[in-house]
């Protein structure tokens, strides 16, 4: 069994600073010469980009429903064999979700580091920490970390408030220069945060003389075997859009395609790229609504993509990728852009959330799991190929097919069915 020091970083609620603290810890230990592997609970695309910058390694997602236990255990075991520290950022609050991160940690004997926003309190901090530890006796909360404190004296007061069965693991002060900017889908993509590496280094420097510099106790990870991939896509070239408009890619999806034997090539529709020579195309999600002018102007790319589809080649378009395939996209400011025209109809941006949650797609190629999170709606006469289902059996997102185009608001998690995904791209 592989052993490795590890923490699952959780919090009483969203907004406490889990991502900031996880990134700071990852960079601190990296600066100390340690190999740090970071994971993110849930289907988030944005936090993992920041953790990749902080640690120097891809940050993979862990979700029991979307990924499955076998996938999770394999990825953690693989990391534990070479890492000096594993950090897993939780999602929402410690007892939120199905299963909550507290249960996820208990099942894997992962010690929890609770991040609590300590601004505006001192002695109450200990009461919150005590409640998180004892609300459910099986919760493996081992230590706490205070965020957004006013001074070293403030940290001293908070540390003194802790019960004896909860360790103190340091604190970060309030520092506006370290704050991570946000927009409607969460934090900004890592590539758009100015001076991100410097922000993370600044946070890590705050931690060098605190308890955070010490490694937690080693954890025994399940010695899960690596999955077996066929080489179904050997000799196939998949062109993947990758830029500020198409930036929602699971690292596990890239890894899955490589293990299936595919050659991957990347291009940028925003940089006026033409479609490279390829056997299949993947347009992942992102922020096309913020780049309407550039996308509309790249008529050469849309011509190439139409020719690709008309010759019977596969195209997978997810969420933002699908949005660009319709005839037009209308922003919340009522500006309308003419885009791909490969699907009839238009996409209209909204100021409120239009779709959210885990999904399962029953495609002719097989069942693939994933999730959806979007602020737009599609208006189209196109008949659905199928409609995805949520874990409770209710209807999810519409999935469209025209020729070899497969398009939906769903973001697919390729390792949930590698052979089905290989058939999509074949």
**110-151 pLDDT tens trace:** 999 999 999 999 999 999 999 999 999 999 999 999 999 999
Strands 167-173 and 141-149: parallel
What average pLDDT does this structure show over 15-42?
96
pLDDT per residue over 284-310, tens digit each? 999 999 999 999 999 999 999 999 999
What is each CA distance from 103 to 136, 140, 164, 421, in whole angstroms? 10, 9, 23, 31
Q: Which of 41, 247, 278, 319 is catalytic?
A: 319
* Segment 222-271, tens digit of pLDDT: 998 889 999 999 999 999 999 999 999 999 999 999 999 999 999 999 99
Class assignment of domain 3-220?
alpha beta
Average pLDDT of the chain is 94
Cis peptide bond N-terminal to 80, omega within 30: no
Residue 44's SS3 state is coil
- Residues carrying CATH 3.40.50.300, the chain: 3-220
> Do the beta carbons of residue 265 and residue 228 sit within 8 Å?
no
| Number of Cβ atoms within 10 Å of the Cβ of 353 | 11
User: Cα 356 to the chain's mean position, in Å?
Assistant: 14
Instruction: Measure the CA–CA gap between 425 and 264, rounded to whole angstroms.
Output: 12
Q: Which residues are bridge partners to 398 per DSSP?
A: 387
Alpha-carbon distance of 97 to 104, in angstroms, equals 10
Q: Is 237-425 a domain of CATH 3.40.50.180? A: no
CA-based nearest residue to 279, from 317, 240, 253? 240
In whole angstroms, give the CA distance from residue 38 to residue 89. Answer: 8
Question: Reduced to 3 states, what is the DSSP secondary structure of residue 173?
Answer: strand
Q: Is 345 left (phi over 0), alpha (psi -120 to 50) or beta?
A: left
The Cα–Cα gap between 176 and 353 comes to: 28
Least confident of 65-69, 161-165, 273-277, 421-425: 273-277
| Half-sphere CA count of 140, side-chain side, radius 13 A | 17
Give me the mean pLDDT over the 44-49 stretch: 93
Residue 40's beta-bridge partner residues? 61, 89
Could you tell me the two tokens for 368?
């693939």
Cis omega (within 30 of 0) for bond into 99: yes
Whole-Å CA distances, 125 to 9, 113, 159, 343: 17, 14, 9, 54
Q: How far apart are CA 376 and CA 350, in angstroms?
A: 5
Element (H, E) at 310: helix 299-310
Contact 84, 114 (CB under 8 A): no
| Least confidently predicted of 73-82, 177-186, 292-301, 327-336 | 177-186
User: Is the separation of the CB atoms in 245 and 275 below 8 Å?
Assistant: no
Report field, pTM of the whole predicted structure over 0.85 = yes
- Listed in order, the ranges of the chain carrying CATH 3.40.50.880 are 237-425
Residue 186 confidence (pLDDT): 61
Is the Cα dihedral 198, 60, 62, 80 positive or negative?
A: negative
Angle at 143 between CA 62 and CA 70, to 5 degrees: 20
Q: Rounded to whole angstroms, what are the CA distances from 137 to 90, 105, 128, 169?
A: 19, 13, 15, 21
319 as an active site residue: the answer is yes
């Amino acid at each position: 069994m592989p052993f490795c020091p590890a923490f699952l970083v959780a919090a009483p609620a969203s907004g406490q600073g889990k991502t900031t603290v996880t990134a700071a810890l990852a960079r601190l230990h990296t600066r100390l010469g340690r190999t740090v592997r970071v994971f993110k609970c849930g289907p988030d695309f944005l936090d993992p980009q920041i953790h990749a910058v902080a640690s120097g390694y891809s940050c993979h997602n862990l979700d029991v429903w979307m990924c499955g236990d076998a996938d999770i255990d394999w990825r953690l075991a693989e990391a534990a064999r070479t890492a000096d520290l594993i950090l897993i950022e939780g999602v929402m609050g410690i007892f939120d979700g199905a299963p909550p991160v507290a249960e996820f940690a208990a099942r894997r004997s992962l010690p929890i580091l609770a991040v609590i926003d300590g601004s505006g309190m001192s002695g109450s901090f200990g009461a919150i920490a005590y409640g998180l530890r004892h609300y459910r006796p099986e919760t493996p909360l081992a230590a706490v970390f205070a965020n957004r404190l006013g001074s070293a004296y403030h940290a001293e007061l908070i540390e003194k408030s802790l019960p004896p069965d909860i360790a103190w693991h340091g604190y970060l002060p309030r520092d506006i220069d370290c704050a991570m900017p946000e927009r409607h889908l969460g934090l900004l993509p890592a590539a758009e945060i100015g001076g991100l590496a410097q922000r993370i280094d600044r946070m890590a420097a705050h931690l060098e003389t605190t308890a955070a510099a010490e490694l937690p106790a080693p954890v025994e990870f399940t010695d899960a075997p690596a999955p077996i991939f066929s080489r179904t896509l050997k000799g196939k070239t998949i062109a993947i859009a990758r830029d500020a408009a198409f930036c929602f890619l699971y690292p596990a999806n890239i890894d899955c395609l490589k293990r299936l034997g595919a050659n991957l090539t990347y291009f940028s529709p925003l940089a006026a790229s033409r479609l490279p020579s390829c056997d299949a195309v993947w347009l992942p999600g992102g922020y096309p609504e913020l780049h309407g002018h550039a996308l509309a102007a790249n008529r050469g790319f849309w011509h190439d993509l139409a020719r690709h589809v008309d010759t019977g080649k596969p195209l997978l378009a997810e969420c933002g990728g699908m949005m660009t395939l319709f005839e037009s996209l209308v922003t919340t400011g009522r500006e309308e852009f003419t885009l791909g025209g490969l699907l009839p109809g238009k996409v209209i941006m909204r100021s409120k959330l239009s779709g959210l949650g885990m999904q399962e797609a029953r495609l002719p190629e097989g069942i693939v799991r994933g999730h959806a999170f979007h602020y737009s709606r599609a208006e189209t006469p196109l008949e659905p190929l199928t409609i995805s289902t949520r874990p409770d059996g209710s209807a999810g997102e519409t999935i469209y097919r025209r020729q070899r185009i497969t398009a939906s608001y769903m973001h697919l998690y390729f390792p949930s069915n590698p052979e089905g995904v290989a058939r999509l791209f074949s």
